Amino acid sequence: MNEDFLQYIWANALFKSMECTTTTGKRIRVARVGEQNRDSGPDFSDARIETGGFLIAGTVEVHVNGSDWARHGHHKDPAYDNVILSVVKNDDAEVYTSKGRRVDTLVLQYDERLLEEYLYTRETPDMPRCHRWLQRIDPLKLELALTGYAVERLERKCDDVYRLLEANRGDWEATLFGMITRYWSGNLNADAFAMLARALSYKQARRDGESLFRAEAMLLGISGLLGAGERDEHVDALRAEYDYLASKHGLKTMPPACWKFSRVRPTSFPTVRIALLAALWCRSGFLFSGVLEASSAADAMRQFDVSASPYWDTRYLLGRPSAHQVKRVGKTLQRLLVVNAIAPFLFVYGRERGEEALREKALQWLEELPPETNRVTRNWERCGVVPRSALHAQALLQLHQEYCLPRRCVHCKPGREMFKMIT
């Protein structure tokens, strides 16, 4: 039992009756539960309580125990002087404001099945936690909820765009490439690529990245991987070039230990991905316009259709020969880049430039792309929720990360529908 659950019961009027009796025997009718307050101060504002023929307006405070009022210091805080009702589970103490006025207390009465389901969602290891009820939720309501959570996740990624834009002093091209670099790898090396993005100077790289060899030297050198593997004639040449660039621009080298190779497929090794990023650097001058002018998600994906230099046809690691295979950016990575980097960037760019068509295009691309398949989406599919597009998959990831994992079931829309069905 906690306040989060009780606040949910009050906010959604899931208690047994709007006609109630306080602990002193006063008859009241809850005309309005109020608006929930997520900041400091009473839990609900603009509530309405009818008693004795009068309608009283004010705030409502919710606690597990009546004694929590004094324990939290509300009896000394003038901000709580406007509370018209103290809602509790256990009435173990009288409640008074800082001016000495006694506050009416209501012991919340609700269907115990609500608490049982709430405790189940808190304790079950199964994901999603509302899996026992998902197939009973109105499909239209679920569809609308998923669209909202997809936009919520997109907005969170837009915050990343804004932070990069500020760091790049309003340089849109540098921000675009920074977003791409951050999502150039899977989860295992995401932090390392984010660090690489921060270590790069876009303007310097543009000046020195016209040559694929020089772009490789700069990126592999900054990553710290040039000095961490085996050597051959090409590696020695790259190291010499990087030493020159580092001295010229004051470049700083990352610790090689940042990069993870275990549990990573050879085609996704950091060395290979950085070599492919170097190839993209060499066409970066056309990338910005290409993204803005792309007419479809498939067209946007083609912006990343690059191959690494011939050296990597027989390498996965520096200085270590392997079977021949041309290293290209695959379709899966192309889709992930559009979803995680391009769509948020386009959404922000359209918002800041007042071009609504670009924002709509970002959402349209997410609807055009197929959903990614991972452990999270498979869990939802087992419960009958099958994503039809990348937009839906993003919504399910948002629900998993922001609501399922932190056990915020009473705050998510599927969870709210579940609790309503119980009553």
Could you list the mean pLDDT of each consecutive 10-residue stretch along the chain, which spans 423 residues? 88 92 95 92 96 94 96 96 97 96 96 90 89 91 93 94 93 91 87 88 68 92 89 94 90 92 93 95 80 94 95 96 96 95 96 95 96 94 94 96 91 88 80
pLDDT at 187: 76
Q: What is the pTM of this model?
A: 0.80
- Residues in Cβ contact with 397 at an 8 Å cutoff, skipping those fewer than 6 apart: 153, 376, 377
pLDDT at 208: 63
List the one residue out of 408, 395, 322 whose CA is nearest residue 122. 408
- Is 290 within 8 Å of 176 (Cβ atoms)? no
pLDDT at 358: 95
Per the structure block, which two tokens stand in for 374? 């991972």
- Is 98 within 8 Å of 81 (Cβ atoms)? yes
For residues 216 and 282, give the distance between their C-alpha atoms in angstroms, rounded to a whole number. 10
For residues 275 and 269, give the distance between their C-alpha atoms in angstroms, rounded to a whole number. 10
Per the structure block, which two tokens stand in for 60? 């409502």
Beta pairing, strands 105-107 & 315-317: unpaired
- Is 180 within 8 Å of 341 (Cβ atoms)? yes
Helix, strand, coil % over all residues of the chain, rounded to 5: 55, 15, 30
For residues 159 and 183, give the distance between their C-alpha atoms in angstroms, rounded to a whole number. 15
Residues paired with 102 in a beta bridge: 96
For residues 323 and 382, give the distance between their C-alpha atoms in angstroms, rounded to a whole number. 39
